[in-house]
Structure 1
Amino acid sequence: MRKPTIQDVARQAGVGVGTVSRVLNNHAAVKGATRETVLRAIAELDYTPNPHARRIAGGKSYTISVLLPVLTTEFYARLMDGLEAAFQEARYDVAIFPLLDRSRLERYLGSHTLAYQADGLVMATYNLTQMFHERRLRTQQPTVLVDAHAEGVDCSYMDNVGGGALAGEYAADLPGPVYAIWVETELDQLFTTRVFEDRRAGFLRALAAAGRPVHAEFTSSFDTLAARNTASTLLDDAQATPGGLPCTVFASADLLAGALLDEIRLRGLTPGQDVRVIGFDDQPWAAARGLTTLHQPVESMGYEAAQLLLSRLNGYRGPARARRFEPRLIIRETA
């Protein structure tokens, strides 16, 4: 049997070929009822578009470039799930470019590189305000920031200051010294992120408002061994300080909180009693470990960023839009 064609879909749906094409391209001009009729015909005929014909006919690559700091953390895996869900619905492919070192960062600043040959660009987490102001990002295609915010560009981001404040307000009501662990995130001082700087600002502001000092602050990379070593150093301090236990620790990412929980148990201490732990992310494993943490809808943030970019690709020419997501405190056994 021959494969169904776009003409077959149009005939079954009772519309023109152009309408089917607009549905396949997720064009905003198609009415909801018409879109449903075309999608039903596509499903009934089991029609699959020819990607090469689509690219040639549309004059597009139907590819989105996504620039990420790293690929190996749960946060970015979840962020990609949200991005890809939206792009797949619109039949766009995704090309991922991890920014691992200075040479890659410098290379991606050039508009001739492969990352800039896509129809749209997603940049995750980095504070790119200065880059845009200096016009070092020579992007000709629509661009969206996710997990970051800058003026004059579409962005989907978390209220990290508010999340840090929620953690600080809660920690301030708990007895004993307060500690914090932050994430080292700068890559050769070229691109930076405000995520953890904002969480710290909110956390310290809330503690100060409650008249509570921070006993000590520590910094760790996202490396698992580094996180465990930092947890060990923190607990050494707490156990050596008179009245240091019980204490409360705000670990600004669940990965750090998980390493801290492992070290607490290794020392025969009890989470939630000897050491109260507050994380940030609410990763899928957090509930099973009883981790008190700030929940952030990572997948939704990625999905919304993709929708902002797709609207640009479908013709939106209006001012930049910002979608801010609010974290919420999930109280469990560790605090």
Structure 2
Amino acid sequence: MHVTIYEVAARAGVGIGTVSRVLNNSSQIAPATRDKVLKAISELNYQPQAMARNLARRRTHTIGAIVPFFTGYFYVELLRSIQAAISRHKYDLILYGVDDLQKKEHYFRHVLQQRRVDGVLLISMRLSDVFSAEYLRRKLPLVLVDAYHPNHDSITVNNEDGAHRAVQHLLRLGHSRMGMINGHLESTPAQERLEGFRHAMQEAGMPVNESLLISSDMLPEEAAVPNDGFNKEAGYFGMRRLLELHENRPDAVFVASDIQALGAIRALQQSGLRIPEDMAVVGFDNVELAELVGLTTMKQPIREMGDLAVEKLMAKINGAPPSSKLQHRFQTELIVRDTCGAKLKAQRNGHGRIDG
């Protein structure tokens, strides 16, 4: 026979409103009363609707974020946005920093086993089908950020289109010998940005010189490039490798992240080359430092990505039905500053118009 909320209330010695507030995790319920209601639910094997069933378990009011190398500027800004959004829900944030991508599954398993959090944000890492199924089986809410899985809510940016438009911009400015400094090619954003680069060159009828395409996994051990390669070291040593080509070096470089671009700019400055006169540079992300150095870049809506990720995760925690649209892909925006040569070209042409 189906147990009703009235029977739970009678067993616990409270009103049905109190049972409802416990199911909805109200902060106005005394701990002793909450315990009585939860005990009655357990004893009677009360099965509320899916939403209530989710809410009946005790909550930690904590969200876990599994993130690689959270000292990187992109991750710092993304986590700042996530922390602000979580705080609005009166939740706390636990960071699980993955310093070695080969060990990421240890963290996936650890979070599942410990169950210290009400939901998980998985940032910039691939989720295997095995762990996808396990998270679904354990009913631990999960949202992917800067990563994609067909069975989970995924917040991504259109990396391929962003890279495509960055290269188009450089080509329109008259640059023809195009290079690229990328992250590790096992990274999904790195793969997609490389595809965007190739597409733009093919569309323009320009040959792709493979010797001008540098990825972080191609760099020597002395470069000491950490994990995914989206860092200053990769940008610095990647640019040095391009500069070793001397007269065959590129006249413009698309760099797959702003932090890499900072390293690349340092290498150019050390070599005595002028930016953009001798080599133009465009980055990707639009972190705060990009504006300080006048870096032209493709802006990712980092704050909006963090806000939406938290919104979707909180909806899952609160028992909302599965979304009909699991993937949300943001678009990038070209931010023209000093390093691409657009402003210099406008000055030489005698007008201030800058084409995007």
**Deviation at 1:233?**
1.1
Aligned-partner Cα distance in 1 for 2:182–2:160: 14
Where does the alignment leave 5 or more consecutive residues of structure 1 unmatched?
1-15, 26-47, 187-192
In the alignment, is the contact (CA less than 8 A) between 2:234 and 2:263 conserved in 1?
no
**Cα gap change, 1:141/1:130 in structure 2, threshold over 3 Å: closer, same or farther?**
closer
Aligned-partner Cα distance in 2 for 1:230–1:309: 38
Say yes or no: does 1:197 pair with 2:172: no
Written as runs of structure 1 = structure 2, the 5 A alignment for 1:145-294 is 145-173=144-172, 174-184=174-184, 186=186, 193-215=187-209, 216-220=212-216, 221-237=229-245, 239-241=246-248, 244=249, 247-294=251-298
**Cα gap change, 1:156/1:231 in structure 2, threshold over 3 Å: closer, same or farther?**
same
Aligned-partner Cα distance in 2 for 1:53–1:272: 68
- After superposition, the C-alpha distances for 1:107-131 in whole angstroms (9 at most, x for unaligned) are 2343675664311111011232644
In the alignment, is the contact (CA less than 8 A) between 2:183 and 2:234 conserved in 1?
no
Q: Identify the structure with the greater helix proportion.
A: 2
1:305 match: secondary structure: helix
Residue type of the alignment partner of 1:324:
R
Residue type of the alignment partner of 2:332:
P
**TM-score, length-scaled by structure 2:** 0.72
Aligned-partner Cα distance in 1 for 2:76–2:241: 29
Written as runs of structure 1 = structure 2, the 5 A alignment for 1:19-58 is none
1:285 match: secondary structure: helix
Q: Between Structure 1 and Structure 2, how many residues are aligned?
A: 287
Aligned-partner Cα distance in 1 for 2:177–2:78: 34
In the alignment, is the contact (CA less than 8 A) between 2:155 and 2:328 conserved in 1?
yes
In the alignment, is the contact (CA less than 8 A) between 1:63 and 1:119 conserved in 2?
yes
**Deviation at 1:160?**
0.8
- After superposition, the C-alpha distances for 1:31-88 in whole angstroms (9 at most, x for unaligned) are xxxxxxxxxxxxxxxxx99998999797211111110011110101111111111111
Tell me what 2:354 maps to. Answer: none
**TM-score, length-scaled by structure 1:** 0.76
**Deviation at 1:227?**
2.9
Aligned-partner Cα distance in 1 for 2:183–2:302: 18
Residue type of the alignment partner of 1:194:
T
In the alignment, is the contact (CA less than 8 A) between 2:254 and 2:282 conserved in 1?
yes
**Cα gap change, 1:21/1:280 in structure 2, threshold over 3 Å: closer, same or farther?**
farther
| Aligned Cα root-mean-square deviation (Å) | 3.1
In the alignment, is the contact (CA less than 8 A) between 2:119 and 2:141 conserved in 1?
yes
- After superposition, the C-alpha distances for 1:196-228 in whole angstroms (9 at most, x for unaligned) are 111111121111010112331001224533432
**Cα gap change, 1:319/1:274 in structure 2, threshold over 3 Å: closer, same or farther?**
same
Tell me what 1:30 maps to. Answer: none
Tell me what 2:60 maps to. Answer: 61
**Deviation at 1:172?**
2.6
